[in-house]
Amino acid sequence: MAWRLKLVPEKTNINFFRWQWLTFGGSMVMIVAALLATAFMGLNFGIDFQGGTTLRTESTTPVDVGAYRQALTALDVGDVSITEVFDPSFRANQHVAQIRIGAQDGYEAVTPETLDRVKVALVAIDAALKVVSVELVGPKVSSELIWTSVMAVLATSVGVLIYIWLRFEWQFALGGVLALVHDVIITVGLFAVFQWKFDLTIVAALLTILGYSINDTVVVFDRLRENLVKFKTMPLREVMNLSVNETLSRTVMTSGTTLMALGAMLIWGGDVIRGFSLAIFLGVIVGTYSSVYVAKNVVLFIGLDRSDKPKGGKGTPSEYANIEA
């Protein structure tokens, strides 16, 4: 038989409820701490949320994002984002870049003096470079982006709630969504505590975390639903333990390989995607934890009606919904 790497034995018998008040209670403490940190310390908003100035440049020579960034970093102008713009309509020698500079203290945009310094620094790198447009992103637009981001996370959570409710039972839906709320709040709280930059890429990472975490939770719930039908007289706590143990190998393998890829992105991906990689890296860890220790605990505390119910008609094998993804 060929040798296979096994991070987890094929059969485990771990009592995941042994320290439930420490694990589940610890999650509640972390949520409260994250909320307090976000409320009192605030988030270190990036350009997308704090406003600033956007410059559009054109040149006949290729854009060197690294050189641009190095030149602007030396000016100490604050938060800077540089991206190269591609468009099929551009000429062969038309190279366009978009440079965003965060608002400075006491100003809604970059001051004219700072803007002149930026232009001089860029021209020193590329004599053919021209600044073709300068746009202001004010605080009103930034506040709208914050509100839109919050609505995106809430809408995703509601969609997940409805999906799990249809596929399983309302207890599963509530447990799954509370686990997602747990993941998002703790991840955002870490960004508040360490004052890591929080911009639209982090919002995209949070939405990715929601999808990853609920996928892991649904795997556990799916096995739990099967075992509830198979072991009708086994206590609910033991059925949950069995279900998590049976899916533990898959959980560890999936999370482990994902973290390996994210770790590589975090170390060698560069400044552009470092925040995104960090948010997902933390989210995968917290999401895996919540799938094992939070979601099923909520279902256990609420309880399930395991009594036999009249069949809903021909072809209805059990009380649990069987809507496939």
Per-residue model confidence as pLDDT tens digits over 219-243: 888 888 888 888 888 888 898 899 9
Residue 1 pLDDT > 70, yes or no? no
pLDDT in tens, 245-271: 888 888 888 899 999 999 999 888 877
Task: Provide the CATH number for the domain around residue 233.
Answer: 1.20.1640.10
Domain shared by 122 and 176, yes or no: no
Burial (CB < 10 A; 0-12, 13-18, 19+), residue 294, is: buried
pLDDT (0 to 100) of residue 315? 43
pLDDT (0 to 100) of residue 145? 75
In a domain, 123, yes or no: yes
Residue 109 pLDDT > 90, yes or no? no
pLDDT (0 to 100) of residue 187? 94
3-state DSSP assignment of residue 81: strand
Domain shared by 81 and 109, yes or no: yes
What percent of the chain is modeled with pLDDT above 70?
86
pLDDT (0 to 100) of residue 191? 94
Contact call for residues 174 and 302 (beta carbons, < 8 A): yes
Domain shared by 213 and 226, yes or no: yes
Residue 286 pLDDT > 90, yes or no? yes
pLDDT (0 to 100) of residue 272? 73
Domain shared by 164 and 201, yes or no: yes
Domain shared by 124 and 211, yes or no: no
Domain shared by 188 and 118, yes or no: no
Mean pLDDT estimate for the chain: 82
Q: Which of 110, 137, 164 is the last residue of a domain?
A: 137
pLDDT (0 to 100) of residue 102? 77
pLDDT (0 to 100) of residue 38? 93
In a domain, 103, yes or no: yes
In a domain, 322, yes or no: no
In a domain, 197, yes or no: yes
Domain shared by 225 and 250, yes or no: yes
pLDDT in tens, 35-70: 999 999 988 887 777 777 888 899 988 888 888 888
Domain shared by 31 and 71, yes or no: no
Distances in whole angstroms, Cα of residue 301 to Cα of each of 226, 236, 272, 293: 20, 11, 43, 12
Q: Which of 137, 166, 192 is the last residue of a domain?
A: 137
pLDDT in tens, 75-107: 888 788 888 888 888 888 888 888 888 776 656
Measured in degrees and rounded to the nearest 5, phi and psi for residue 95 equal -115, 120
pLDDT (0 to 100) of residue 318? 43
In a domain, 1, yes or no: no
Q: Which residue has the higher pLDDT, 35 or 5?
A: 35
Residue 285 pLDDT > 90, yes or no? yes
In a domain, 217, yes or no: yes
Domain shared by 104 and 184, yes or no: no
Domain shared by 189 and 273, yes or no: yes
Contact call for residues 296 and 174 (beta carbons, < 8 A): no
Domain shared by 107 and 239, yes or no: no
Residue 282 pLDDT > 90, yes or no? yes
Contact call for residues 162 and 97 (beta carbons, < 8 A): no
Residues 299-321: what's their mean pLDDT? 57
In a domain, 273, yes or no: yes
| Number of domains the chain contains | 2
pLDDT (0 to 100) of residue 136? 76
Measured in degrees and rounded to the nearest 5, phi and psi for residue 189 equal -60, -40
Its domain, for residue 180, covers 20-43+142-302
Nearest to 171 by CA among 300, 319, 317: 300
Task: Provide the CATH number for the domain around residue 106.
Answer: 3.30.70.260
In a domain, 311, yes or no: no
pLDDT (0 to 100) of residue 260? 93
Domain shared by 211 and 123, yes or no: no
